[in-house]
Amino acid sequence: MLGQTELDGGSTPSSNSRVFRYEVVGLRQTSESDKNQYDIRHSGSVFINVPYNRMNQEMKRISRLGGKIVNIEPLNVAIANPSAVPHRGGGRR
């Protein structure tokens, strides 16, 4: 799911198909974050794609890990070429 979202072309997206990207800073590597499928970046910003129906749970998890959400943006279009998506965080991809 990371960086790839497909929604129905012309229909209004339901709450189950809406996905949002969280930009998070301040996460630290802990025993809790070791359970993630990704490492925490050293540049400070982490981008996490979250389905609408899990937004509240993900906000709580980020808070438990010591992170701060600095931006939330909807991913409401199909992304055919992830490299074409503007990258606003620092560091390397």
User: Tell me, what's the pLDDT at 21?
Assistant: 96
In a domain, 62, yes or no: yes
Confirm if 27 and 67 have CB atoms less than 8 A apart.
Answer: yes
The count of structural domains within the chain is 1
User: Tell me, what's the pLDDT at 1?
Assistant: 44
Q: For residues 47 and 21, give the distance between their C-alpha atoms in angstroms, rounded to a whole number.
A: 6
And the tokens for 85?
A: 């998506």
Domain span at 15? 1-76
User: Tell me, what's the pLDDT at 55?
Assistant: 96
In a domain, 59, yes or no: yes
Q: For residues 28 and 9, give the distance between their C-alpha atoms in angstroms, rounded to a whole number.
A: 38
In a domain, 91, yes or no: no
Helix or strand run (H / E) with residue 84: none
CATH number of domain containing 14: 3.30.1490.170
User: Tell me, what's the pLDDT at 82?
Assistant: 58
User: Tell me, what's the pLDDT at 42?
Assistant: 57
In a domain, 39, yes or no: yes
Please tell me the number of Cα atoms within 13 Å of 71 on its side-chain side: 11
User: Tell me, what's the pLDDT at 31?
Assistant: 65
User: Tell me, what's the pLDDT at 53?
Assistant: 96
In a domain, 82, yes or no: no
Q: For residues 47 and 89, give the distance between their C-alpha atoms in angstroms, rounded to a whole number.
A: 9
In a domain, 53, yes or no: yes
In a domain, 32, yes or no: yes
List the chain residues with pLDDT less than 70.
1-16, 28-43, 77-93
Confirm if 78 and 31 have CB atoms less than 8 A apart.
Answer: no
User: Tell me, what's the pLDDT at 9?
Assistant: 47
In a domain, 35, yes or no: yes
User: Tell me, what's the pLDDT at 72?
Assistant: 96
